[in-house]
Amino acid sequence: DQQVKQNSPSLSVQEGRISILNCDYTNSMFDYFLWYKKYPAEGPTFLISISSIKDKNEDGRFTVFLNKSAKHLSLHIVPSQPGDSAVYFCAASEIYSNYKLTFGKGTLLTVNP
């Protein structure tokens, strides 16, 4: 059973518009969430994170929102750029498992010029 789900395998947006990537989780013990970006033939690169004590974290064009009651988080990219085209992975962890990560299967974002 998947504890972290990214239900959209792909997303296509126009340059300059907002990209919204979604992630749902089932384990209520998760208390730290991360987003990674992955280009082909490279390893995942850390993008942004959020602790369960917050509901929003912002870093430049990237904002992550956490809704604990819905067990849902989302990544907003504004404005989207062609260089943002990549696979985005959502990951979740908890203190009681040494913060080992459980990943979603990823969403392929394509930003069209």
Partner 1 sequence: DAGVIQSPRHEVTEMGQEVTLRCKPISGHDYLFWYRQTMMRGLELLIYFNNNVPIDDSGMPEDRFSAKMPNASFSTLKIQPSEPRDSAVYFCASRRGQGGQPQHFGDGTRLSIL
Which residues here bind partner 1, judged by CB under 8 A? Answer: 32, 34, 36, 41-46, 49, 51, 89, 95, 97-106
8, 3, 2, 1: which is closest to 88 by C-alpha?
A: 8
77, 76, 87, 80: which is closest to 109 by C-alpha?
A: 87
Cis amide linkage into residue 40, ω under 30° from 0: no
**Which is nearer to partner 1, 5 or 71 (by Cβ)?**
5
The answer to whether residues 73 and 65 touch, using CB atoms and an 8 Å cutoff, is yes
Minimum CB distance to partner 1, residue 103 (Å): 4
**Which is nearer to partner 1, 7 or 112 (by Cβ)?**
7
Contacts of 30 (CB under 8 A, 6+ apart): 3, 52, 92, 93, 94, 102
The answer to whether residues 33 and 91 touch, using CB atoms and an 8 Å cutoff, is yes
Minimum CB distance to partner 1, residue 74 (Å): 19
**Which is nearer to partner 1, 25 or 89 (by Cβ)?**
89
Minimum CB distance to partner 1, residue 99 (Å): 6
**Which is nearer to partner 1, 89 or 111 (by Cβ)?**
89
Minimum CB distance to partner 1, residue 63 (Å): 17
